[in-house]
Amino acid sequence: MPTRWADNDHYGHVNNVTYYSYFDTAVNAWLMAATGTDIRELPELGVVAQTSCRFHGSVSFPDMLQVGIRVARLGNSSITYDLAIFRETETEPELAATGSFTHVYVNEETRRPVPIPEVIRAAAATIVAAELPA
């Protein structure tokens, strides 16, 4: 994912709120690619209920980014994703930020929670994070 000229703030680095846009883009682009479905046309909508971001390093235009994504929790009507943003370098990617992003699926008309659409659930199940040993 490329950074954009408009992503930089007055201090010369990507503004903190822009990371949430990267998360949103990564999740929705992955969903569309993984399902082969235009998720905007489903009768159930994935609305963002919660996000968080922890900064580990700085990025700036014209950096290229890699965004890692996995499912931390696959519920009945919600999915929580873990994300990591890396700045590409000549040697190895540098961790810039980590965060989480929760979609709650709702009916398009009533906006009430509904079960995750099966096409979304099937794709999300392929990237569920492995349980760590206790």
Can you spell out the DSSP letters for 31-93? HHHHH-S-GGGSSEEEEEEEEEEEE-S---TT-BEEEEEEEEEE-SSEEEEEEEEEE--SSS-
Q: What is the pLDDT of residue 6?
A: 94
Q: Is pLDDT of 131 > 80?
A: no
Q: Which range has the top average pLDDT, 13-17, 90-94, 120-124? A: 120-124
Q: Write down the domain spans for the chain.
A: 5-125
83 strand-pairing partners? 69, 99
Q: Given this model, what pLDDT does residue 130 score?
A: 76
> How far is the C-alpha of 8 from the C-alpha of 91, rounded, in Å?
24
Q: How much is the pTM?
A: 0.90
Q: Across residues 80-89, what is the average pLDDT?
A: 96
Report the top-level CATH class of 5-125.
alpha beta
**93-106 confidence digits (pLDDT tens):** 999 999 999 999 99
Tell me how far CA of residue 76 lies from CA of 5, 33, 52, 88, 104, in angstroms: 39, 22, 21, 36, 9
Task: For 12-58, write each residue's pLDDT tens digit.
Answer: 899 999 999 999 999 999 999 999 999 999 999 999 999 999 999 99
Average pLDDT score over residue span 1-5:
94
